Structures are given as structure tokens and as C-alpha cells.
Structure 1
Amino acid sequence: MEDALNAELDRRLAEADAALNSLYPGDRGVRQPVHTVYVPADRYDAGTVDEWAKAARTALADHGGSTDELAELLQLPQRHAAQVYERVVAKLEREPIEDLRIDFEDGYGNRPDDQEDAAAVGAAQALAEQVKTDTVPPYHGLRIKSLEAPSRRRGIRTLNLFVGELAGAGALTDGFVITLAKVTSVEQIEAMVVVLEAIERAHSVPTGSLKFEIQVETPQAILAANGTTPLPRMIRAGAGRVTGLHYGTYDYSASLGVAAAYQSMEHPVADHAKDVMQLAAAGTGVFVCDGSTNVLPIGSRDQVHAAWRLHSRLVRRSLERGIYQGWDMHPAQLPTRYLATYSFYREGLETAATRLRAYLEGGNSGYLDEPATATALAGFVLRGVECGAIDPSEIDLLIAVDLQELSVLARR
């Protein structure tokens, strides 16, 4: 009886099983950057990353004060403050930017075609130089204008020029990614796939290698005219090319009529949009990225401190809500990005390691952890390692696994 019943269930559920495996493949097995840094195309050159790093270190030195003062300012636990500070300083030396986006959209604006053509070629040449000198951030690419009718041709031309220049220089890497702005329909995602296929053919780029992120900054990306959310269909329409959903704080808030003074990453409309994004991306391997704050750490010491407190709090808020990436728009935001992020992982390391080790060894941590929780615990620790908040040697000491074993646990 059981054999016949199981065969019947296999037959009945075969289509659903296949759909589940296809639509929800799980973790992609790659590192997610903690942020995306946006630089207007006309302000980017091969020295930009170094300039941002120097400016970030200067801001920290000029306005950070002592370790204890900085910890009090940002409400970081004192017992982790010195350790976090040292790691952040080292990060700003070693890898100040994890993900760089050269912006041809709002940050660049509308220019005459000859100007944007020249900017696209020049920026691609500068990025190629960074690739060749191994100074490029792990993730890097460009944001193009939307596929709405008024900007469609300009966005495609810029992308074609940029990719062509990189391909010709042999500088297209696995870390290259494109951000598509102001997406309003599933059809635009289908069109983007057609564009990428054509560009790959034109420049002899391996089929399927060009990936892109969907920028979620319009009401239509969250709720379609038929009353459903189009995001799951957008991910599917991307045919395996969609790597991220990026929230656009200010365009989205403005589109919903939120007054400028109240547009924020923590406004209720922002939280609703990001909840939908997280649901749509869950299990697909697509990363979710929060937006930015437009309160910049510039001006007097008091103004810098106020902006740092806000940025640090917002970064921590996103992390606590399971959104591990956000936008940074100014070099002086890098210190608080890493201070808040590193503090988050250092604070949680001991408890996460204790629980995970007890789960693996059958011990008692005081928690009844299930396999899904163990995966989440491993993922937490792995993210900390990947961004530099945690040393790989600590994993062996605290959990008795190596980095490869931890990766398997986190991405199973």
C-alpha cells in the first residue's frame, strides 16, 4: 500500500516539486556586501576608492575622539569598543568599499549625449584600470537610467558603451553588476534580459554572465494594477540574472506623497516595501538591500556627530531586521557603516557560537535550536567573517569548525 501511495504522491506533486526547486534554489553561496557606495559617473576615476578611504579615515580621526567617546556617541557596548575600532581602522585601509556603483542615473542627471558617451567610456576605462591593478572593490558596476520610454535609449547606450569598453580590456569580472533604476513592470525585466543578451553577443561576452539588480523605488514595483505584488514575477522574468532588490528611499517615499522632512529608511511606507521585498526574495538567492539616509556627516563637529548617530542607528536597525546591505553616499559614512556592522556581529558572536556548537555537539545551550535556526546562526557568524568583523581563527576556537564547514552549515 505504501509503495503505491508514495508513487501516486510523487506523480501528483512532481510539478510542484520541480517548481519549488526551480523558483526557490536557496542561497547562491556568495558573499553579500554590507553596502553599495554610489559615486556619480563624472566624479569617478581610478583613484576614487583611495580618495574615499582617505576621507573616511580623516573623518574618523578628526571627529571620532577616543574609543570610549566614540562608543558613547554611537551607543556601542564599551566592552567591544576597542576591538571594533581597531578592526574598522584596518578595514578602511584594506577594503574601504565592498560594492561600488558608478551612477549614470539620478546622481549623474540628464546630460547631452556626447557628454554621457564620454563619461561612460571614461568611467569604464577607469574601472578597467582598477581591475588590472587589483584595487577594485569585490563588487562593482554601474547604475543605468530606467527602461521607461524617455530614458530607455540613453540607458541602453550607456550600458553598451560601458560593457564594450570593459570587455575589450578583458576587465569583466564575476563581481560586475548592473543596477536598473525605477523599474515599474515585469515587462521591463523581460526587456532587460533581451538587452543583456544582445550586449553579450555584440561584445563576445559569455551568455548569461551579465547580472543585474532591480531598484525598487516606484509604487508599481510593490503593488501592480491588478492588486498583486510583481516582485516574484520580476525575479522569475530575470531568467537567473537578477541578483538583488535595492530599495530607493526617496523616490519611493516621494511617490507615495510622504513630505520631504519625513522621508526616511524607517518610515512605515519604507518598512512595508522592504517587508514585501524580503518576502519576494526569500529562498531565491536574491539579496535585499536597504536604501540610504540623505543626512550627510559634514559641517561642524556637532553636525557630523548627529549624522553619525543617525546613520549608525539606521544601519543597526536594518541589520536587526535581517537586511544586511544598504547604500552609502559619502566617504564619512564609511566609519559608521563599519562601526555599527562590526559591533552587531561582535556583540552576537559569543551567544551565536555557543548555541551553534551546542547544536552540533548535542549539548545544552539553554535554547531548543532547530535545523533552520542552526543555519541562521551559522549564517550570522559567516557574514561577520566575510565583512571582517570576525576572524576565521575565532570560528575554530569557539565552534570547533573551520570556515569551509561553517559555509556549508550556513548555506545548506
Structure 2
Amino acid sequence: MHATLDGLLAPWDAELEARYPGDDGSRQPVHTVYVPGDRYTAGLVPEWAARAREAVDASGGVGRLVDLLGIGAGSGDGLADAVAERVRAKLAVEAIEDLRIDFEDGFGDRGDAAEDAAVAAAARELARAEAQGTATPFSGIRIKCLEAATRRRGVRTLALFVAELVAARAARGHPGLPDGFVVTLAKVTAPEQVEAMALACERVEEANGLEPGNLRFEVQVETPQALLAADGTATVARLVHAAPGRVTALHYGTYDYSASLGIAAAYQSMEHPAADHAKSVMQLAVAGTGVRLSDGSTNVLPVGDRQAVDAAWRLHGRLVRRSLERGYYQGWDLHPAQLPSRFAATYAFYREDAVSALARLAAYVGFVPDAGGVLDEPATAKAMAWFLGRGVDCGALTEAEVRAATGLDRAGLDAVRVSGHAPQPVAG
């Protein structure tokens, strides 16, 4: 009987393993910053960091921002001070985690000559940033969509940028593409476009001597067709599986998607019911696949007088926290002054929930004898280890804090995340 069942289920076993490998535990950036392609230079990250610090200094400092967002209000547990300290450190050493050089809406249609020149210049600047230590951990470009009107321009930008970047890196003794490089494909409407993008990536790899599969891309979900096909099926589920090994993430496009549904401009928001519906479907589509999910942006910027800046920071901080609570661990930022509120809200989220996660994981692995009566199962232990690892990756927590509380170093934490089993705690 066992052999019969194995034979019956073997095709599904293979499909399950191929389509749903699970999250690989690698770092996911907490945000993506989009900048127009012709405005990118190797000095952009230090410039944005300086402007972010100037914004908070002009408004009373990071401590006041943390208070403004209600972090640690009245708790007396040191959360506000801990978050403020980490935000200052983050702005000093890694103000932007992921940068997308935009040749789509942020650049527009300026003709081939102008776009070619901007693409080549931006590629060389990215290589220069890497050489001088001002590049971001993750980077890439956004190209125009593969609809008929912009298809040739989008592919031309992809091919030219990669060729220029590979050549500029090779001249400095670094073959291939930078680690963490990804392309964003905008306004996707059908799986066929994802398949076509995979073919374009394959041809660009061949032309530049890159390893097959090295060039990967993320899909922007900002059209109704990307969620629901004419036959009533969920297009987005097919998008995820249309180019195995190529698609890294689904990114929600707040304003294009809202506008396409006829939602008035005043009500277009990351928290509109239509946005929540779209992201819930996207979340289901990527579950277990290893493809990441990103929320969109708010275009209400912290600029103007003190009252306007405070209101924008409160809104941004609340929206970041809202996304995190719903399991969307990444979003878009559009202005330097959004960086402090992004990191403050993110760090508060991880540090608040780490108190319980650390205690429960410590009990699960036997580092402490009791966790207050909570009996956790392997699936929960895996989730807690995954959560703590993300906190360490973004700077909300340190490996030393995790080790002191649980006895687990990063390798031990990853072991629990993968298997759900308790490794031997690290002594000392």
C-alpha cells in the first residue's frame, strides 16, 4: 500500500517541493527607495542620510520623533531610548537598505537618446558607489512595462544598464552584477509578461557572460488584471510561478492600482479597503513560495512647517507599523525625511515583540526552564526564530541580545528557523 500511495502522490510531492520551498531566511530590506534615473549619483545615499538627519534635527531630534510616534509612551521600559539610539546609528551607517533607480514613472518618456544617456550614466554611478563604499546593500532599476507601447524601451533600458554596469564593474576587477541587484517590472497584467521578462533576462545574461539565473526581477502589482483575470481566476498566483527562480518579490503599487479602480485621489491610500484586499490576495499567492511581499508608499511627505511635518511623520509611522502587523515587511519610501519614521516604527515593532519571542524561544530550546506557561510547537518556534533574525538583519536587535536571552548564536537561530528543533545553546 505504501508504494502505491508514494506512486500516486509523487507528482504532487515534486510540485510541492518545486513551487513551495519556503522562505530561505536571507535578508529582506525593510524598504525600497525610488529615485528618478537621471538624479542618481554615487553620492545619493550620503546626501539622503544628511537630509534625513537635518529633518529630525530641525524638528527637535530623534527623541522627539520617537515620542511623536507614541513609541514607548508611558511604559518606562527604555523602549523609546533604545529605538532612538538605533535610528541615529542607522542613519549614520545605512540610511537606505534598497535603492531602485527609476526609468519608469519617475523618469517618463523623454525619447531614446535622453533615456540611453541617463541609463548609461546611472549604471556607471552605481559601480562607482560600490567602489567607494556608498552603495546600498540592495539595488536595481525599474524599467517601463512590457505593454506594446513601452515594451521595446523597457527591454532596451534593461540591456543597456546591465551591459554598462557589468563593464564598469569588470574594469574595477569585479565580474558580474552586484549582490542584491534586482530589476522591477512595472504594471504587469499577465503571466505571459513575466515569462517574456524571464526570456529577456536570459538573453541579457548571455550577452554579458552572466551565469544563468543571475538576473532576477520583482513584479509590481498595480493593475486590476494582475489580481483577477477575465475568466475569474487569480492572476497573481500565476505571476508568482511564471518564471521559477527569477521572480523575487511582489510589490504593491498604491496609486496606480487605486486609480485603476476609480478611487478618487483624496482616498488613494495604503489602508484603503481595496488596497487591503489586493495585498491579502498577494500574501496568499506568495505564501510558502519564497517570493517576498512589499507594501507600497504614501505620497504625504514630511515637508513644510512643523505642523505639516509632524502630521506626515505620524501618518507614515502608523502606516509602516500597520503593514508590519499585517505581515508586509517591506514598503516604499519617497523622501529622505521618511527614513527616520520608517526606521523608528520598524525598530519599535521588532523590539516590542522581541520581549515575548526571546523568552518563549529561550524556554523552547531549554536555555531557561519556563516561559510563563506557553507550550510552543515547532512551527511557532520556527516563526519566532525567523522574526528575531529579521530584527537582527535590519538593526532593531543585535546578535548579542539574542544570544544573551536565548543562548543561540545566529547559526543556532537559523537552525531553529529551518527545522523547528532546538540546537544546543551556545555557552557563555
The alignment's TM-score, normalised by the length of structure 2, stands at 0.93
**Identity among equivalent pairs (%):** 60
- What are the equivalent positions in structure 2 for 1:269-280 lying under 5 Å apart? 269-280=274-285
Gaps of 5+ in 1: none
What's the counterpart of residue 53 of structure 1? 49
Q: 2:193 aligns with which of 155, 170, 188?
A: 188
Deviations 1:177-236 (A, max 9, x none): 000000000100110011011111111111110000000000000001110112222122
Match of residue 76, structure 1, among 64, 68, 71:
71
Equivalent position of 2:20 in the other structure: 24
What is the rounded CA distance, in whole Å, between the counterparts of 1:155 and 1:169 in structure 2? 21
Please state how far the C-alpha of 1:6 moved relative to its aligned partner.
1.5
What is the aligned residue count? 407
Matched residues in 1 for 2:270 and 2:376: separation? 32
Contact 1:56 1:333 survives alignment (8 Å): yes
Unmatched runs of 5 consecutive residues or more in structure 2 = 420-428
Deviations 1:278-310 (A, max 9, x none): 110011111100000010000001110000000
Instruction: Answer whether contact 1:358 1:365 (CA < 8 A) is retained.
Output: no
Q: Distance in 2 between matches of 1:233 and 1:61?
A: 47
Per-residue deviation, 1:340: 0.3
Verify the 8 A CA contact 1:98 1:138 in the aligned structure 2.
yes
Partner of 1:304: 309
The Cα RMSD (Å) is 1.2
Question: Counterpart of 1:377 in structure 2: which amino acid?
Answer: M
- 1:389 matched to 2:385: no
CA offset at residue 359 of structure 1? 1.7
SS at match of 1:122: helix
The code of the aligned residue for 1:80 comes to L
Aligned partner of residue 191 in structure 1, secondary structure: helix
2:372 to 358, 365, 370: 365
Give the conservation status (yes or no) of the 8 Å contact 1:27–1:411: no
Listed as ranges, the matches of 1:269-348 within 5 Å are: 269-348=274-353
Residue 7 (structure 1) aligned with residue 13 (structure 2): no
**Correspondence list, 1:211-222, <5 A:** 211-222=216-227
Does residue 149 (structure 1) correspond to residue 170 (structure 2)? The answer is no
**2:248 equivalent to 1:248:** no
Contact 1:288-1:323 at 8 Å conserved across structures: yes
Deviation at 1:28, TM superposition (A): 2.2
Corresponding residue for 2:425? none
Superposed CA offset, 1:44-93 (max 9, x none)? 111111110000111111114472x4333111114311111011101001
Residue 356 of structure 1 aligns to which amino acid in structure 2? L
Shift of residue 316, structure 1, vs aligned partner? 0.2
**Are the aligned partners of 2:297 and 2:332 in contact in 1 as well (CA < 8 Å)?**
yes
Q: Which residue pairs with 1:125 in the alignment?
A: 124
Q: Does 1:260 align with 2:255?
A: no
Letter of the structure 2 residue corresponding to residue 23 of structure 1 = R
Partner of residue 205 from structure 1, selected from 210, 225, 250: 210
Q: Distance in 1 between matches of 2:402 and 2:98?
A: 25
**CA offset digits 1:141-192 (Å, max 9, x no partner):** 0000000000101111111110000111236112100000000001001100
Q: Distance in 2 between matches of 1:326 and 1:71?
A: 20
Instruction: Write out per-residue CA displacement over residues 385-410 of structure 1, whole angstroms, 9 at most, x where no aligned residue.
Output: 00001011011110110011112222
Equivalent residue letter for 2:65 = L
The one-letter amino acid paired with 1:404 is: A
Does residue 1:239 correspond to 2:258, yes or no? Answer: no
Give, in whole Å, the separation in 2 of the partners of 1:66 and 1:88: 7
- Counterpart of 1:36 in structure 2 is 32
Structure 2 residue matching 1:29: 3-state secondary structure: coil
Bigger Cα displacement from structure 2, 78-87 vs 45-54: 78-87
Aligned letter for 2:35?
V
C-alpha change, 1:13 and 1:66, in structure 2 (3 Å) is closer
**Residues of 1 paired with 2:198 and 2:65: CA distance?**
47
Partner letter of residue 102 of structure 1?
I
Distance 1:193 1:72 in 2: 46
CA 1:268–1:367: 2 relative to 1, 3 Å: same
Rounded to whole Å, the distance in 2 between the matches of 1:47 and 1:65 is: 24
- Aligned counterpart, 2:426: none
Query: Displacement, 1:43?
Result: 1.1
The amino acid that maps onto 1:60 is: V
Q: The residue matched to 1:226 in structure 2 has which SS?
A: coil
Does 1:403 pair with 2:399?
no
- Contact 2:22/2:288 (CA < 8 Å) preserved in 1? yes
Name the amino acid aligned to 1:400: G
TM-score (norm: length of structure 1): 0.97
Q: What SS is found at the alignment partner of 2:365?
A: helix
Residue 337 of structure 1 aligns to a residue in which SS? helix
C-alpha separation between the residues in 1 aligned to 2:114 and 2:32? 25
